[in-house]
């Protein structure tokens, strides 16, 4: 099984504006993911569940994500982009990748533009999927200027997360979402987008959308009421509506299995009934090991050593909870854990190493990001072996990582020192390793 690396960001030219996009997968069908309110094609991979969701779609399609003009890694502009300009940007991305016809998946605010695109360019849209979307703003009361002012006032604090992803409440998840807000758009840009959204109304064109459409919505969506999805589907001649339990507005959060299965069946005509793909996910794997544990056990005696191990295990649990890690198992004098974000994994390893050193148990740690196989309560795969081999090369009190980890956390405020190129037992090629620090 080959290790998975996140896609490279590319640029398509739409007039004089550069649109950032990424491609995952190489299936026979093209899926264009039309973003909602804000996005950042690179940093969104740090959000729990986002990459795994795209990976699932990429098992049967070539999946394209992009940042609309003025946001994320696309060129900044003055004001907010009109729906017509955003349609031009989708055309530019499709042309750049050589896609003549694609499935449009519009999320939230991106649904209205997707509807307009499908009505305007039916020859370029094979099917339309709308998730958590609306045809007209669901807030009809209050002054748009006041609403914009309220959003701008708390921008960058993840206040919006309460409605977008209510199921994720950990401090780390909130911190990541707040960072996504700041990286995606400035407060001034957000204000113009909010005011633009207040004027969106594509209801008159819904009857003219002839492409097959799947409208998906969660029953307790805290951002866009489910009635908006029902009304959207009822006004389109070839639309089917499916409602799911839950309150998450984000398509990558919550129970995504049924949603992704329905999308695959709608797009391909069949649903993957095997569980093999669902049991393989992208993760950052952490191995730790207490330095000179045998010598320490002999010097301390059984009872004192057992107490030290209990203290170690308690610290490990605290650090994993704080950084949203999952303990797979204790290795006797260390741990094996997984994370859905490499930045959190590195910070957890550094924090755990510092904490255990204070109680006289220095650690060495190794991390690698790649695909893992879920085997009940255990994990397997090349990524697991790679993390173990990286740890074996680690010096006492050192957190050693593979190059793929450093590439994925660029810009996250972590520092890395080169530790040379190494052969790792049982793994092909040479591996560049780096020591992490803050």
**Picking from 142-146, 210-214, 273-277, which range would have the lowest pLDDT averaged per residue?**
273-277
Mean pLDDT score, 107-130: 94
- Give dist(CA 340, CA 374) in Å, integer: 14
Residue 304: its pLDDT value, please?
87
Tens of pLDDT, residue by residue over 25-52, are 888 999 999 999 899 999 998 888 899 8
Total number of residues shown for the chain: 438
Q: Which of 36-45, 124-133, 275-284 has the highest mean pLDDT?
A: 124-133
Would you say residue 1 has pLDDT above 80? Answer: no
Tens of pLDDT, residue by residue over 76-97, are 888 777 888 889 999 999 999 9
- Give dist(CA 210, CA 64) in Å, integer: 23
- Give dist(CA 274, CA 196) in Å, integer: 44
Q: Which two tokens stand for residue 23?
A: 């491609």
Residue 117: its pLDDT value, please?
94
- Give dist(CA 396, CA 419) in Å, integer: 14
User: Chain centroid to CA 154: how far?
Assistant: 23
Residue 219: its pLDDT value, please?
94
List Cβ neighbours of 412 (8 Å cut-off, separation of 6 or more): 343
Question: Hey, is 245 helix, strand or coil?
Answer: coil
The ranges of the chain annotated as CATH 3.40.50.1820 are 10-268
46 or 248, higher pLDDT: 248
With cut-offs at 50, 70 and 90, classify the pLDDT of residue 373.
confident
User: Chain centroid to CA 280: how far?
Assistant: 16
Mean pLDDT score, 309-315: 91
Q: Do 158 and 179 meet the contact criterion of CB atoms below 8 Å apart?
A: no
Mean pLDDT, the chain, whole residue set = 89
Q: Provide the b/e sequence for 172-199 (b: ≥16 CB within 10 Å).
A: bbbebbbbbbbbbbeeebbbbbbebbbe
The ranges of the chain annotated as CATH 3.30.70.1230 are 280-437
With cut-offs at 50, 70 and 90, classify the pLDDT of residue 224.
very high
List Cβ neighbours of 219 (8 Å cut-off, separation of 6 or more): 226, 243, 244, 245, 246
Could you tell me the end-to-end alpha-carbon distance of the chain, in angstroms, rounded to an integer? Answer: 32
320 or 145, higher pLDDT: 320
Question: In 103-184, which residue ranges form alpha helices assigned H by DSSP?
Answer: 110-120, 144-153, 161-164, 171-184
Asked if CATH classification 3.40.50.1820 holds for the domain at 10-268, the reply, yes or no, is: yes
CATH number for region 280-437:
3.30.70.1230
Q: Which of 127-141, 297-311, 339-353 has the highest mean pLDDT?
A: 339-353
**Pairing of β 325-330 and β 363-375:** unpaired
Tens of pLDDT, residue by residue over 153-175, are 999 999 989 889 998 888 888 88
Would you say residue 279 has pLDDT above 80? Answer: no
The secondary structure of the chain in percent helix, strand, coil, rounded to multiples of 5, reads 40, 25, 35
């Amino acid at each position: 099984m080959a290790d998975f690396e996140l896609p490279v960001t590319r640029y398509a030219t739409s007039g004089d504006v550069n649109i950032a996009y990424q491609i995952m997968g190489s299936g026979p069908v093209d899926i264009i993911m039309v973003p909602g309110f804000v996005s950042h094609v690179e940093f969104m991979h740090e959000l729990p569940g986002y990459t795994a969701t795209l990976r699932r779609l990429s098992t049967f399609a070539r999946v394209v994500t992009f940042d609309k003009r003025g946001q994320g890694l696309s060129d900044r502009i003055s004001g907010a982009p009109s729906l017509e300009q955003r349609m031009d940007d989708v055309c530019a991305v499709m042309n750049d990748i050589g896609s003549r016809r694609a499935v449009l998946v519009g999320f939230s605010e991106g649904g209205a533009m997707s509807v307009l695109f499908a009505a305007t360019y039916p020859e370029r849209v094979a099917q339309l999927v709308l998730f958590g979307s609306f045809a007209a703003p669901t807030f009809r009361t209050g002054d748009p200027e006041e609403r914009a002012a309220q959003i701008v006032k708390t921008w960058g604090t993840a206040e919006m997360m309460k409605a977008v992803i209510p199921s994720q409440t950990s401090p780390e998840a909130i911190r990541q979402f707040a960072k996504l807000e700041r990286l995606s758009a400035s407060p001034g840009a957000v204000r113009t987008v909010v005011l633009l959204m207040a004027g969106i109304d594509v209801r008159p064109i819904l009857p003219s959308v002839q492409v097959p459409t799947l409208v998906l919505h969660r029953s307790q969506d805290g951002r866009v009421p489910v009635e908006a999805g029902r009304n959207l589907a009822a006004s389109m001649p070839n639309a089917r509506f499916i409602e799911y339990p839950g309150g998450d507005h984000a398509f990558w959060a919550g129970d995504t299995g049924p949603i992704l299965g329905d999308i695959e069946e709608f797009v391909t005509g069949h649903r993957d009934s095997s569980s093999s793909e669902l049991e393989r996910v992208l993760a950052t794997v952490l191995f730790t090991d207490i330095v000179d544990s045998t010598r320490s056990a002999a010097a301390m005696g059984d009872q004192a050593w057992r107490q030290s191990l209990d203290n170690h295990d308690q610290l490990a649990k605290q650090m994993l909870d704080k950084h949203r890690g999952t303990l797979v198992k204790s290795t006797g004098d260390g741990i094996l854990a997984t994370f859905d974000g490499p930045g959190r994994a590195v910070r957890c390893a550094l924090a755990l190493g510092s904490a255990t050193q204070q109680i006289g148990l220095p650690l060495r740690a190794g991390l690698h990001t790649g695909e893992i196989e879920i085997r009940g309560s255990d994990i397997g795969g090349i990524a697991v072996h790679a993390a173990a081999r990286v740890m074996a090369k680690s010096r006492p009190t050192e957190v050693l990582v593979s190059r793929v980890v450093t590439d994925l956390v660029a810009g996250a405020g972590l520092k890395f020192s080169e530790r040379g190129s190494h052969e790792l037992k049982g793994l092909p090629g040479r591996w560049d390793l780096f020591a992490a620090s803050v």
